[in-house]
């Protein structure tokens, strides 16, 4: 149906699908239909939400929005998408002013700065958080009313920045927000991916990956810095002292300003775009080598095209290493250039710079910083190594083997020959430095008897001859010290491929860093006892814990404005937005029936918004009378979406078997899944398909009705989370014990008053300690028992009959695609069972926990009381607290707020 849109000249009709991005809502003409843009200045002045009278700042904002609309956006007609662009560019102007002032101040004060190196920054949309952090939400909202629009609907036109995938990238984004809010000098450093990871499309139940064209209409939230470029080399030759790259690209900087909350500080995320040294080879083109003419550009484009390219091919593996080295090298070169602009002695670098390596992706920084200091800046090896090890810090985020990168020596020698030499020297000197420690350790160890087969070999030496009649050479006895040193070595043999040597990047990071931290209490203990115990022996004080946190601005105040308003009213101010500890003041209100009723009203409103999103996205209608049960996170076997899915088959089977009277007692449930499976992750994609297949059957079964709905929301991202999390009543964090480092979505759900069902894993433990373990639905085997249980899997027989019945339904094709799902059955049960993540072991206790969930949900007063306690007791999980700990315990960085600007007359 065509709608009337405001036009620069006369009114005209536009179709609803007036944008190639899909259906856009055009602004319906207000009373002044056909209004010309310049006449907007004559409209009544807006009312600012804080009650102050309009001032020159607001007039400047109005004029700025109009200027951007007329001259930068220059639309033929005005719709919400065009208003978004105009407001975003207006905000951009103020952010750039703040960014420049902040960096000028830091330079003048010569402050120490932190440089946060991360392959991911999952920023989400920027407009809402930016205007509210700047304190301009009311002003821009009022200005948009001039055009008949609202800030929240205009903000929804923004695309999510596709710079990350899951918790790792979202944590990095929260950290940047907190660093700016706490006035801590620092930068984020990453890659400006053109297509992100991928956009997830569900087609006939299968995940399909398509490019995420998030940049094709421009990005108001970045500032291109064409004068800030560095060369990054690959391949070539090294003579042991200098490197001659065989291929080079240009790293060009783009800055994304990060405004702090109620402060003048505007931090920066600097992203690198790859460009060829020569855009086009005309000579190659002229001789008919058309591919060669543009080959350099294609190779450069590949580096910054996609987050985590599929590494199932050799080129994909090499491309990942290229990406990591590209952004690390550019970032280190940039930082050294910034330091040398005001200092002449690199010995002082650790006093002015600290580099935080976010997981193993940036850990090539150890070798690259050492190379830059020695090969480029001429420092002696030992002097450079002292600087390197005082300047770098490493955060470990996982115990999963695939995330603890190990690069083949052959790949490193091919792509980064000088760095492989440096790593080998680091390793040699490291092993030499601990030889005495290892010798003493071996001497204290009890002697081990020779293996039986070796004894037999020795006994048979007399008669064991070759065809030539000669005895084979005896095997040299293994040197126990050399064998023990292998446990410490950065360069190790691949246990699955004889003769292939690997560089353990986590070990390189531990040796080359001044501090190593885990991200939750249990995880930090696991990395000391399971991942790096030998390193803890050598330098125990290097290892720390820094429990993750999330920013309350985005994950409560802005994404859940109704609940935020209720909290502010109850506490008497909005100071809790920056001081999360004040949330504890809500605890007494949990005992107030009237307050609980208002809390439920807010939750119901949020559920209605999610129900509308579900209907719009999937076509399924769900009732807000049902419990909203959510599991949204990266699809992975260790996160056990499969456990949840099998339980839903059981729930479906049980409801089907009930009488009409029994069904009246069932707690209705809407189970929502969301998350992406990595493009090469075969099993994860099957889980996506199974969830969709369960939903397709359950959601159309007239006997089931509203008692159960199973929903998979495609392309889960930050903006989807901002709708899902406020509506959630139960959230699932059900990883196998000891496999989830921390989790941050559990914190977001808890802060929004959502109860948790989960294992004693990651940050669930600390959430339980804060909330009260009796208020969580805990199940599952303890982390310390998991290794034993895995070893016993081949003899496991204690299958819950509900579990086997559900799997039989899948095997029998009740959910279609029986052959496709056969692998899932094999993982969980069968003669070749490989139930590594102990789905069967934990199934019975999981179902018991779900029974307790249903029982408690029937008592809405008690459920709501606990919901309030979740919000009141989890202020600890603010990223402001986490960043304060990093700043004090690792970085040695102190707040340096720029002075407030002088008011103009």
- At a CB cut-off of 8 Å and minimum separation 6, what does 579 contact? none
Give CA–CA dist 716/712, Å, rounded: 9
**Annotated active-site residue in 112, 418, 633, 636:** 633
**Annotated active-site residue in 170, 397, 607, 686:** 397
Question: Is 639 a known active-site residue?
Answer: yes
Handedness of CA 404, 408, 414, 416 (dihedral sign): positive
Q: What are phi and psi of 361, to 5 degrees?
A: -55, -40
Helix (H) or strand (E) holding 738: none
Contact 638/681 with Cβ under 8 angstroms?
A: no
Handedness of CA 554, 556, 560, 561 (dihedral sign): negative
Q: How far is CA 244 from CA 202, 240, 415, 678, in A?
A: 47, 11, 12, 36
Q: How far is CA 155 from CA 81, 126, 221, 340, in A?
A: 9, 8, 13, 41
DSSP code at position 583: G
Which 3 state secondary structure label does DSSP give 549?
coil
Strand order in the sheet with 247-259: 223-234, 247-259, 266-276, 186-191, 113-117, 353-358, 392-395, 515-518, 543-545
Give CA–CA dist 359/296, Å, rounded: 30
**Which residue, 307, 311, 267, is CA-closest to 119?**
307
Question: Is 390 a known active-site residue?
Answer: no
Beta bridge partners of 203: 206
Q: What is the chain's Cα-based Rg?
A: 30
**Which residue, 828, 735, 817, is CA-closest to 783?**
735
Residue 589's CB: how many other CB atoms inside 10 A?
A: 21
Which residue is listed with tokens 């719009």? 616
Pairing of strands 501-504, 406-408: antiparallel
Which residue is listed with tokens 């083949």? 408
3-state secondary structure 376-402: HCCCCHHHHHHHHHHHEEEECCCCCHH
Beta bridge partners of 504: 406
Give CA–CA dist 640/631, Å, rounded: 10
Pairing of strands 501-504, 206-210: unpaired
Scanning 772-813, the segments in alpha helix (DSSP H) are 786-791, 801-811
Question: Is 744 a known active-site residue?
Answer: yes
Question: Is 634 a known active-site residue?
Answer: yes
Q: How far is CA 808 from CA 701, 813, 828, in A?
A: 20, 9, 12
**Annotated active-site residue in 322, 406, 636, 639:** 639
Give CA–CA dist 451/511, Å, rounded: 33
Contact 304/298 with Cβ under 8 angstroms?
A: no
**Annotated active-site residue in 125, 596, 748, 865:** 748
**Annotated active-site residue in 634, 636, 733, 873:** 634
Q: How far is CA 495 from CA 500, 613, 770, in A?
A: 9, 48, 42
Kindly provide the b/e burial profile for residues 594-626, where b requires at least 16 CB atoms within 10 angstroms of the residue's own CB: ebbebbeebbeebbeebbebbeeebebebebeb
Contact 535/510 with Cβ under 8 angstroms?
A: yes
Give CA–CA dist 615/480, Å, rounded: 65
Q: How far is CA 813 from CA 649, 683, 769, in A?
A: 13, 18, 43
Q: How far is CA 791 from CA 639, 683, 823, 833, in A?
A: 20, 22, 21, 12
**Annotated active-site residue in 551, 744, 864, 882:** 744
Catalytic residues: 397, 633-634, 639, 744, 748
């Amino acid at each position: 149906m065509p709608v009337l849109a405001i036009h620069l000249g006369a009114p005209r009709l536009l179709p609803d699908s007036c944008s190639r991005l899909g259906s856009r809502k055009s602004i319906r003409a207000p009373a002044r239909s056909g209004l010309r843009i310049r006449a907007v200045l004559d409209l009544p002045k807006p009312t600012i939400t804080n009650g102050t009278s309009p001032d020159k700042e607001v007039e400047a904002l109005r004029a700025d929005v109009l200027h951007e609309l007329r001259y930068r956006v220059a639309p033929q007609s005005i719709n919400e998408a065009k208003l978004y662009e105009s407001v975003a560019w207006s905000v951009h102007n103020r952010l750039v002013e703040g960014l420049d002032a902040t960096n000028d101040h830091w330079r003048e004060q010569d402050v120490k700065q932190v440089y946060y190196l991360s392959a991911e920054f999952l920023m989400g949309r920027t407009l809402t958080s930016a205007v509210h952090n700047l304190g301009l939400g009311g002003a821009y909202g009022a200005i948009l009313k001039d055009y008949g629009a609202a800030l929240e609907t205009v903000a929804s036109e923004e695309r999510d920045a596709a710079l990350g995938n899951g918790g790792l990238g979202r944590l990095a984004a929260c950290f940047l927000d907190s660093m700016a809010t706490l006035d801590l000098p620092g930068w984020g450093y990453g890659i400006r991916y053109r297509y992100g990871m991928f956009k997830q499309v569900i087609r006939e139940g299968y995940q399909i990956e398509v490019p995420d064209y998030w940049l094709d209409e421009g990005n108001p939230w970045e500032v291109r810095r064409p004068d800030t470029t560095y060369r990054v080399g690959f391949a070539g030759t090294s003579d042991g002292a200098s490197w001659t790259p065989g291929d080079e690209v240009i790293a060009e900087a783009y800055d994304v300003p990060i405004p702090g909350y109620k402060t003048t500080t505007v931090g920066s995320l600097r992203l690198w775009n790859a460009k060829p040294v020569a855009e086009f080879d005309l000579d190659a083109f002229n001789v008919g080598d058309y591919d060669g003419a543009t080959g350099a550009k294609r190779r450069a484009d590949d580096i910054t095209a996609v987050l985590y390219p599929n590494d199932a091919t050799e080129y994909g593996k090499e491309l990942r290493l290229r990406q990591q080295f590209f952004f690390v090298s550019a970032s280190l070169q940039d930082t050294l250039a910034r330091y040398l602009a005001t200092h002449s002695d690199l010995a002082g670098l650790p006093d002015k710079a600290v580099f935080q390596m976010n997981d193993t992706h940036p850990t090539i920084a150890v070798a690259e910083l050492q190379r830059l200091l020695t090969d480029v800046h001429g420092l002696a090896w030992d002097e450079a190594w002292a600087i390197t090890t005082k300047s770098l810090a490493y955060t470990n985020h996982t115990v999963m083997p695939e995330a603890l990168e190990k690069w083949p020596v052959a790949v490193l020698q091919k792509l980064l020959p000088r760095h492989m030499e440096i790593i080998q020297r680091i390793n040699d000197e490291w092993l030499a430095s601990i030889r005495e420690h290892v010798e003493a350790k071996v001497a204290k160890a009890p002697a081990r008897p020779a293996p039986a087969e070796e004894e037999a070999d020795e006994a048979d030496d007399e008669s064991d001859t070759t065809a030539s009649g000669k005895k084979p050479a005896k095997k040299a006895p293994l040197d126990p010290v050399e064998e023990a040193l292998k446990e410490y070595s950065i360069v190790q043999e691949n246990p699955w491929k004889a003769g292939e040597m690997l560089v353990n990047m986590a070990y390189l990071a531990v040796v080359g860093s001044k501090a190593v931290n885990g991200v939750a209490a249990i995880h930090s203990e696991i990395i000391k006892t399971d991942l790096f115990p030998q390193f803890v022996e050598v330098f125990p004080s290097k290892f720390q814990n820094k429990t993750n946190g999330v920013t309350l601005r985005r994950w409560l105040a802005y994404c859940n404005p109704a609940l935020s308003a209720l909290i502010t009213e109850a506490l008497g101010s909005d100071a809790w937005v920056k001081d999360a500890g004040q949330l504890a003041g809500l605890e007494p209100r949990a005992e107030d029936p009237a307050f609980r009723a208002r809390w439920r009203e807010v939750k119901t409103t949020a559920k209605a918004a999610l129900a509308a999103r579900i209907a719009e996205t999937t076509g399924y209608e769900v009732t807000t009378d049902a419990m909203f049960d959510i599991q949204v996170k990266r699809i992975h076997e260790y996160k056990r979406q499969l456990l949840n899915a099998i339980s839903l088959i059981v729930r479906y089977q049980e409801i089907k078997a009930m009488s009409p009277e029994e069904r009246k007692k069932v707690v209705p449930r809407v189970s929502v899944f969301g998350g992406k499976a990595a493009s090469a992750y075969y099993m994860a994609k099957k889980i996506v398909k199974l969830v969709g297949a369960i939903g397709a059957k359950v959601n159309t079964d007239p006997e089931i009705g509203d008692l159960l709905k199973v929903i998979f929301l495609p392309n889960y991202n930050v903006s989807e989370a901002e709708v899902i999390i406020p509506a959630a009543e139960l959230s699932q964090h059900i990883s196998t014990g000891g496999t989830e480092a921390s989790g941050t979505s559990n914190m977001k759900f808890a802060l929004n008053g959502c109860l948790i069902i989960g294992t004693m894993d990651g940050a669930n433990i600390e959430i339980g300690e804060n909330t009260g373990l009796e208020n969580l639905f805990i199940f599952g085997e303890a982390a310390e028992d998991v290794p034993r249980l895995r070893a016993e899997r081949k003899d496991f027989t204690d299958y819950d009959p509900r579990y086997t019945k559900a799997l039989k339904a899948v095997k029998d094709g009740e959910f279609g695609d029986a052959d496709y799902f056969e692998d899932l059955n094999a993982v969980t049960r069968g003669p070749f069972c490989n139930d590594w993540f102990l789905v069967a072991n934990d199934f019975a206790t999981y179902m018991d926990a779900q029974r307790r969930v249903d029982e408690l949900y029937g008592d809405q007063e008690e459920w709501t009381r606990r919901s309030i306690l979740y919000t009141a007791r989890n202020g600890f999980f603010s990223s402001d607290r986490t960043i304060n700990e990093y700043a004090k315990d690792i970085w040695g960085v102190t707040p340096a707020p720029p002075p407030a600007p002088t008011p103009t007359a």
